[in-house]
């Protein structure tokens, strides 16, 4: 049992292999020759100054863009050669900096929408699963029927995490998930991510400016700013 866990924890699920990226053809490189491995069962932090390319790196990891040079490998296979829609709706859960929740819909409706989009079959009613996810992100079950626009920033952050978890992805990426939260909430969100990684074997990748979040991670990748010329 313990041995299996240790083997699983050491396996890279996502790899950046000599990746460079520029937003325009022949334009300045935002990322240059990045090689890094992300493993199942671990919380990884990506740090670096504003403009260093952290969000860009997440969009390559989450299959929203393809590298200009190099490869992103998911389970050893080049992401650019796979169905990226399938990857995005099944394998990876993304928590955006601005949450991207639908404010007029309820908490449960927001979560169920992404279950529907995954096209996955679920063994229980989706509403029941949504309520279960709320417990996992430390929100009371009554919140299921609350509209997003009535929730605080920290509560919306928790719903965004629940939504990203809704179809059981192997990788969770989050852009500044604790950006505007007080220290207690920040610690609680980090404990949710650590439980996901350590007890459910999810690979969690977090972009953060916070030294506390970085310290609570298993591994930190520091993205150095590129020298401009």
Residues that bind Mg ion (CB under 5 A): 54-55
Instruction: Give the count of beta carbons closer than 10 Å to the beta carbon of residue 75.
Output: 14
Distance CA 73, CA 216 (A): 26
Q: Does 56 bind ligand ATP (CB under 6 A)?
A: yes
Q: Sketch the per residue contact string, 19 through 38, with ligand ATP: x for CB under 6 A, - otherwise.
A: ----x------x--------
64 vs 149, beta carbon nearer Mg ion = 64
Per DSSP, the residues of 15-73 read EEEEEEE-SSTT---SEEEEEEEEETT-EEEEE--TTSSHHHHHHHHTTSS--SEEEEE
Rounded to a whole number of angstroms, the minimum distance from the CB of residue 207 to Mg ion is 6
Rounded to a whole number of angstroms, the minimum distance from the CB of residue 127 to ligand ATP is 35
Q: Does 44 bind ligand ATP (CB under 6 A)?
A: no
Distance CA 200, CA 31 (A): 31
Residue 34 contact, options ligand ATP, Mg ion, none, Cβ 5-8 Å cut-off depending on partner type: none
Distance CA 164, CA 186 (A): 18
Total residues interacting with ligand ATP, rule: CB under 6 A: 10
Candidates 32, 39, 44, 54; binder of ligand ATP (CB under 6 A) is 54
Handedness of CA 228, 50, 46, 209 (dihedral sign): positive
Provide the binding-site residues for ligand ATP, judged by CB under 6 A. Answer: 23, 30, 48, 50-56
């Amino acid at each position: 049992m313990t041995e299996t866990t240790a083997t699983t924890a050491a396996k890279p699920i996502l790899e950046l292999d000599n990746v460079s990226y520029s937003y325009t053809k022949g334009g300045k490189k935002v990322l240059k020759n990045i090689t890094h491995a992300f493993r199942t069962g671990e919380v990884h932090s990506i740090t670096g100054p504003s403009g260093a390319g952290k969000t860009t790196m997440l969009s390559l990891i989450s299959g929203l863009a393809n590298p200009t040079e190099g490869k992103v490998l998911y389970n050893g296979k080049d992401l650019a050669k796979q169905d990226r829609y399938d990857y995005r709706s099944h394998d990876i859960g993304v928590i955006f900096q601005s949450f991207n929740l639908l404010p007029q819909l309820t908490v449960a409706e927001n979560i169920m929408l992404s279950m529907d989009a995954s096209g996955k079959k679920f063994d229980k009613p989706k509403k029941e699963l949504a309520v279960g996810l709320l417990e996992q992100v430390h929100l009371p079950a009554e919140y299921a029927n609350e509209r997003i626009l009535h929730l605080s920033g920290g509560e919306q952050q928790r719903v965004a995490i629940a939504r990203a978890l809704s179809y059981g992805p192997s990788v969770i990426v989050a852009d500044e998930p604790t950006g505007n939260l007080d220290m207690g909430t920040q610690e609680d969100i980090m404990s949710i991510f650590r439980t996901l990684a350590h007890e459910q074997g999810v690979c969690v990748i977090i972009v953060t400016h916070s030294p506390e979040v970085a310290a609570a991670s298993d591994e930190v990748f520091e993205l150095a700013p590129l020298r401009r010329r």
